[in-house]
Amino acid sequence: MKINKSSLFLLLGSLASLKYGKTFAQTNASPYSMIGIGDMNYNYFDRSAGMANSGISLSSASGNYMYLANPASFADLRDMYFKGELSANFKGVSYTGNPINTSAKSNSSDLQFQKILFGLKMKPWWGMGFGLKQFSSINYTYTGTQDINGSTITVPVSIDGHGGLNQFFWINAFRVAKGLNVGIESSYLFGSQQQQKTMTADGVINSSDLNTTVTNYYHKLYFKGGIQYHTKVSDRWRLGLGVTGSNKSVLSGNTTYDLTQGTLSNLGLPTTIVKDSSIGTNKFTLPLMLGGGISMNYDNKWTFAADYQRQQWKDAGNPSGLGYFYGNAQRISGGIEYAKKQTIIQNGYVTEMERYYVQFGGYYTQGYLNIRGQRINDMGGTFGVGFNSKQTGLGYMFHLNVGSTGTTSNNLIRQTYYQVGVTLSYNDFWDARRRVID
């Protein structure tokens, strides 16, 4: 008795015949994360979040915050200061389209930790940062029916997938000339892609379910480089330029297989038939990724920024599937910020402190998936606000993101979402000896 594995795995077949009928109270479902390594994370959850994450050209010298879009920005961290950031995000999603089961709730919500980041200025010409953040995410659930090969029997089937990649990164940035910085982000990508399939076999094999779990483990060293240049163009205007790039990289790993018999929802454990059986190796190729950004700052209060990013998925060589293939992806984003500053005495120093900032932004992403002739695109708008404490060195960043992914054309699914992100930052002296000497 054999289930056709490929027909369950392909998104096209799933969306054509399955009803999306589960409610997720603790985790967001994303049907398109079934393909590849899941949904790529374009949100850095940093100071640029309210400007649609348009941070490739932005400098960390303007305040107590760090920008992750371009590793070169860390060369402009404030001397003698240690910085830390911790981010979390609440996301709500609603789903529309023919595959959606309208008799069930078609929405989900989720609260997740997103990033932990530390940065410090090692030398006047050398800035460093390190941390952990999400690189991609996988989560989907489908229910439907499946034919058993060699017979006319049809049984209910449910398919669950989850996982994704995490990124541990170490950033080194250097000032090589006045206004010119270079940086490199060295990362270790690691994670898994797990798919669990349950065939409910009532009346076929003693009313006992068959549960198969296939897990792909991935890992890879990964590098991203960046350059930034900042200069005054007048007494009040300052120009920022930035470029980033990461080369094509092959994620490698191994695949395991588990098979159990019995109902997973029962208190008793299902009977294990196969446990952690290695069934080979796997690979997935990340494409060449390039980005460029430009920003203008007026009177040290107003900032205008725009970014363009491109990913060469066509050249990555990942195999296409039934009804879908990979296309080159691109993203355009931009935003505006107003920052209110004042001069204060802090830790015995006269310094200019930022009291608060307000941001607006927007973005459009042409996704790398083409399903049934439809690009899975993403677009939306952002709003951000931040405050700093005079006494404690704490800063608070909040951002709101509203957008939509996908389409209802050709029997596909559109996801309409909102995100509320919170980042807590801390800023303080890290070298008391140097403070006294200076």
CATH number at residue 103: 2.40.160.60
The residue ranges of DSSP E strands in 237-288, in sequence order, are: 237-246, 249-261, 271-286
DSSP state of 319: P
What is the distance between the alpha carbons of residues 388 and 23, in angstroms, rounded to a whole number?
39
Letter for the amino acid at 99? P
Containing 436, the helix (H) or strand (E) segment is: helix 432-437
Q: Are 209 and 264 in contact (CB under 8 A)?
A: yes
pTM for the complete prediction? Answer: 0.85
Q: Please choose, from the candidates 60, 58, 57, 62, the residue with its C-alpha nearest in 3D space to the C-alpha of residue 77.
A: 60
The residue ranges of DSSP E strands in 12-153, in sequence order, are: 39-40, 81-96, 107-123, 126-147
Give the total number of structural domains in the chain.
1
Q: Which range of residues forms the domain containing residue 28?
A: 5-437
CA atoms within 13 A on the CB side of 415: 23
The residue ranges of DSSP E strands in 287-413, in sequence order, are: 289-298, 302-311, 324-326, 329-346, 349-366, 369-371, 374-375, 378-388, 394-406
Cβ neighbour number for residue 167 with a 10 Å cutoff: 20
Strand partners, 191: 165, 218
pLDDT for residue 342: 74
- How does pLDDT run across 332-390, given as a tens digit for each residue? 999 999 998 876 665 566 666 788 999 999 999 999 999 999 999 999 999 999 998 87
The residue ranges of DSSP E strands in 148-209, in sequence order, are: 154-177, 180-199
Q: Please choose, from the candidates 46, 122, 160, the residue with its C-alpha nearest in 3D space to the C-alpha of residue 421.
A: 46
Positions of the chain with pLDDT lower than 70, given as ranges: 1-27, 61-63, 101-105, 148-152, 201-207, 263-270, 274, 276, 343-352, 430-438
